Structure 1
Amino acid sequence: MSVSESVGPQALPELKVQVEKILAAAKQQGASACEVEVSVQQGLATSVRQREVETVEFNRDQGFSITLYHGQQKGSASTTATGDAAIQETVAAALAIAKYASPDEFAGLADEHLMAREFPDLDLWHPWDLSPERAIELALECEAAAFATDSRISNADGSSVNTDVGCTIYGNSHGLIAGHAGTRHSISCVMIAEADGNMQRDYWYDYGRRADLLTDAATIGRIAAERTVNRLGARSVSTCDVPVLFAAELAGGLFNSLLGAIAGGNQYRNASFLLGALGQTLFPEWLTLDERPLQPGGLASSAFDGDGLATYAKPFIENGVLVSYMLSTYSGRKLGMPSTANSGGARNLFVTHGDEDQAALLKKMGRGLLVTELMGQGLNMVTGDYSRGAGGYWVENGEIQFPVQEVTIAGNMRDMFKQIVAIGNDLDRRGSVCTGSVLIERMKVAGS
């Protein structure tokens, strides 16, 4: 049976009825306000390794989480059960928690007039009619293509094909009950290469809402193998201050760090290196970072946020200037500012890019480090100090010379943002931030 047959748009009416029951139970038990999220997810995950099937897994998760208020006191509870008894018990548990909680003047639902009213079709439902047998075939095809690419590919660390479908309904005591069904699919490959006593590991993958738009399995295997073989002979470099080019698949992390710093929670806790930075120039004037939550087919598209507020397109960075924090209803109240409809985070971020590909950015860089691997977290959110283990390629005269490993790259995020020289057109659309490779004018590279 296809994983989408019992989970999909056809399940939404039943989930809405469940939300109505939960809201009614909360009111009957004495809650002054309530919000609830009901969800069901189902998927198929397959993996192979060394030409053998390793796993074939079906998964199905369902349940609901509830947050209710007893005046200005808040309580939350969740369960994976779905029956009437579970509803009554979970509501009672949340209400008991609320009655013991300290009053919070900022707690409570968002204002009713801010609730989402329009729910356009965001093109999120694209089920993949994928049988376990076909998923295994694709995973084996991916791995076989990797082994056929180069004789130095000595081992496989897993090729996988996954498909997931899900439905989520949000409702609150203002009368809002809305949700959506969505799909996500992926193909990935991790390989190991060996030559002259040296072993290296690398990967490639694709991920999206539509299976027909994924890179084909054989190509993913070939790219994973090429990346792995190219890592052979990696060595460290002497400590230096040089330009650093973050490959597109890693560059989104730089902007995720920005989002953490401008998130309302870190702002009101005084735990951000961008504390009070609204209106300040943080990036070159040509750079804009904007959110597009209503993007059709977007990986994070939604007509409403986690508080039920209508989402809308907006910039966070405009012409280099920080023009908005990222606020939920609660953090906005703490800061004395309106919510930006970002409860649950940002949705579909797009970064300004130029018309040069990665090869052109290497020419522009001249001499420095192309980073294709990062290790550890390495960001002090309070100071902005950034330090992470890295791997990649050393570049001289705009050309890759040899692979690099066992180095650390370091800088301060404020300096790194200002020193962005260019962003490439090699956009990576597989995550929450759509950006190309990012060239930074100078960072510390600590090696041997």
Structure 2
Amino acid sequence: MSDLEGLAKAALLAATKAGAEAADVVAVRGDGISMEIRNGALEQAERAEGTDLGLRVLVGRRQASVSISDTREAAIAAMAARAVAMAREAPEDPYCGLADPDQLARDWDLAALDLEDSGAAPEPAALAEAARAAEAAALAARGISQVSTAGADYSRTSIRLMASNGFSGGYTRTSHSVACVAIAGEGLAMERDYAVESRTHAEDMPTPEEVGALAAERTLARRGAKQPKTGAFPVLFDERVSLALIGHLLSAVNGAAIARGTSWAKALMGEQVLPEGFGLVEEPHRARVGGSKPFDGEGLPTATRPLVGDGVLLRWILDLANARKLGLQSTANAVRGTGGPPSPAAGNLRLTGPQTGRDSLLRDMGEGLLVTAMMGSSINPNTGDYSRGASGFWVRGGEIAEPVNECTIAGHLPAMLKTLRAADDARAHLSRVIPSLLVEGLTVAGG
């Protein structure tokens, strides 16, 4: 048996025969090629392909999930029997269960999402050549001593979700990517930076040479980095890392955290979480964007809808189970892998609101820190206290002055988010369209 729909049907039938009262299954088939180049020679080549099944069964108010990669009929039957046996021993969960039939997505337009590149998969030799071109472009920049990684990848993933409540749907997405990490200097004076580009369609990709050159440019700009001074300064989160800041808000308004009571945002429904005029909008139907999808992991229809409007928090990010715990309706934010039951997560997002040029934000901040990379994380989920390691550039007189590293930025997330200002440099092809963000009054700890 090879087609995903047939595999999903077989798994549901096996679950019913094993004694499940309800069940859903996600079937995933993926294949991909990855090529890495070092010093012009092939360093690593990988080709992976496989099919995985994830079955969730429900017996009363008890549920269990089992996954396999063996698609033989006997293996599917054994999986179903094991899942049902596990469910019968599981503790009761009054909130688990499939969607009601009238909640399910019925019609969608896959062609409009345009998630699958109709062209032939690239040959391994072509990917190797792309990686080689990126490496050569980086090494061509004066001052670059080596390239630690230059790679090109292609993947194609097909997904089929089917449930005993009558839902059945699937889609395929492709991904092309090129990445390069360049190094300048040696020993303690060594600096590195990277560039990576990924698209669903090959024709939308920048050239490998552009990727390599950008990695080199970013690396060379970091030469001579030192610790900044300590004090309270404005911090500009570069577009490459600004998603991390918004990501902390997404974690705080995730329904699972709210239901557990472990979120600093648990009392902020209907309250100001961003400055007036700002919003966060989910856009699950943007064409040619990897995070787009016609339905969520429980078969509910996705739709463009605001999460934050005019700075005010409008809803939580919910799947069915956490919505039931909170006495609310699902927001069609369920995600589902083969390894377990659904859980809530945000998809494509766009930050909306007033924007200004990045150079204008630099001038307005006067002196402070431009963060281009972050590492480590100390976020208190209950209070929102925030501390992260960072590196980037010191801004003086409204202009980038010198590179800095080995510093820490700290603040209080609820207050930070209410002061942010946005640049106009967000990249529209990304799943999360978030520009550079300026935040006032953070503590910068350096030398």
TM-score bracket for this pair, using the shorter chain length:
over 0.9
- Secondary structure of the equivalent of 2:173? strand
Pairing partner for 1:207 from 179, 198, 201? 198
In the other structure, the counterpart of 2:75 is: 86
Summarize the alignment of residues 289-308 of structure 1 with structure 2, pairs less than 5 Å apart: 289-308=280-299
Q: Distance in 2 between matches of 1:104 and 1:94?
A: 16
1:351: how far off? 0.4
* Other-structure match for 1:73: 62
Cα shift at 1:397: 1.2
Query: Who is 2:342 aligned against?
Result: none
Opposite residue 367 of structure 2, the aligned amino acid is: R
* Alpha-carbon distance in structure 2 between the residues aligned to 1:214 and 1:244: 31
Quote the residue 2:341 is aligned against: none
Structure 2 partner of 1:8: none
Is 1:401 the counterpart of 2:390? The answer is no
Q: What is the match of residue 138 of structure 1?
A: 130
Q: Is the 1:353–1:425 Cα contact (8 Å) retained in structure 2?
A: no
Q: How high is the sequence identity, in percent, across the aligned residues?
A: 35
State yes or no: 1:392 paired with 2:392.
yes
Q: Is the 8 A contact 1:267 1:276 kept in 2?
A: no
CA RMSD across the alignment: 1.5
Letter in 1 for 2:153: N
C-alpha separation in 1, matches of 2:359 and 2:293: 35
Return the offset for 1:325.
Answer: 0.4
One of 291, 307, 316 as aligned partner of 1:325: 316
- The DSSP-based 3-state class of the residue aligned with 2:240 is helix
TM-score (norm 2): 0.95
What displacement does 1:119 show? 2.1
Secondary structure of the equivalent of 1:370? strand
Q: 1:342 aligns with which of 333, 340, 356?
A: 333
Cα separation, 1, equivalents of 2:319 and 2:75: 29
Q: CA deviation at 1:429?
A: 4.3
Shift in Å at residue 360 of structure 1?
Answer: 2.4
User: Could you tell me which residue of structure 2 aligns to residue 352 of structure 1?
Assistant: 352
Identify the residue that residue 171 of structure 2 maps to in structure 1: 180
Correspondence for 2:26 among 22, 37, 60: 37
Confirm or deny that 1:219 pairs with 2:218. no
Give the AA of the match of 1:155: Q
Separation in 1, partners of 2:187, 2:389: 25
Q: Which runs of 5+ in 2 are unaligned?
A: 336-344
State the 1:281 CA deviation: 0.7
Q: Distance in 1 between matches of 2:237 and 2:444?
A: 13
Aligned match for 2:229, one of 238, 251, 265: 238
C-alpha displacement at 1:104, in angstroms?
1.4
Q: Equivalent residue for 2:12?
A: 23
**What residue number does 2:441 align with?**
442
Once the two structures are TM-superposed, the CA of residue 373 in structure 1 deviates from its matched residue by 0.6
Give the Å deviation of 1:430.
5.8
Q: Deviations over 1:280-307 (max 9, x none)?
A: 1111111110001122222211111111
- CA distance, structure 2, for counterparts of residue 137 and residue 442 of structure 1: 47
Partner Cα separation in structure 1 for residue 326 and residue 55 of structure 2: 25
Matched residue SS, 2:315: coil
Q: Tell me the residue number matched to 1:371.
A: 371
Residue in 2 that maps onto 1:100: 89
User: Alignment partner of 2:241: what SS?
Assistant: helix
Separation in 1 of the partners of 2:13 and 2:427? 44
Retained in 1: the 8 A contact 2:277–2:353?
no
1:57 aligns with 2:46: yes
Q: CA deviation at 1:378?
A: 2.2
Match in the other structure for 2:340: none
Q: Structure 1: where are the runs of 5+ without partners? A: 1-10
Residue 129 of structure 1 aligns with which residue? 121
Alpha-carbon shift at residue 431 of structure 1 (Å): 4.5
CA distances 1:400-443 after superposition (whole Å, capped 9, x unpaired): 110000100011110110111x2111113465321110011221
The AA in structure 1 aligned to 2:140 is A
Cα deviation for residue 194 of structure 1 reads 1.1
- Separation (CA, whole Å) in 1 of partners of 2:363 and 2:292: 36
Structure-2 residue corresponding to 1:427 = 426
Choose 333-342 or 193-202, whichever is displaced more: 193-202
Q: Is the CA contact (8 Å cut-off) linking 1:40 and 1:63 kept in structure 2? A: yes
Q: Is the 8 A contact 2:289 2:429 kept in 1?
A: no
TM superposition score normalised by structure 1: 0.94
Match of 2:264 in 1: 273
Deviates more, 1:294-303 or 1:335-344: 294-303
CA distance in 2, matches of 1:424, 1:214: 24
- 119-128 or 199-208: bigger deviation: 119-128
Q: Distance in 2 between matches of 1:55 and 1:430?
A: 29
Which residue type is aligned with residue 127 of structure 2?
A: A
Is 1:412 the counterpart of 2:412? The answer is: yes
Does residue 250 in structure 1 map to residue 241 in structure 2? yes
Is the Cα contact below 8 Å between 1:206 and 1:214 reproduced in 2?
Answer: yes
Q: Structure 2 counterpart of 1:187, which letter?
A: V
Q: Tell me the alpha carbon deviations over residues 121-162 of structure 1, each in whole angstroms, 9 at most, x when there is no partner.
A: 211001553111111111111111111112x11111110000
Structure-1 separation of matches of 2:120 and 2:379:
38
Aligned length in residues: 435
**Shift of residue 166 of structure 1?**
0.9
CA contact (8 A) 1:356 1:425 kept: yes
Alpha-carbon distance between aligned partners in 2 of 1:367 and 1:430, rounded to the nearest angstrom? 32
- Aligned-partner Cα distance in 2 for 1:427–1:264: 27
2-structure distance, mates of 1:372, 1:135: 28
SS in 2 for 1:377: strand
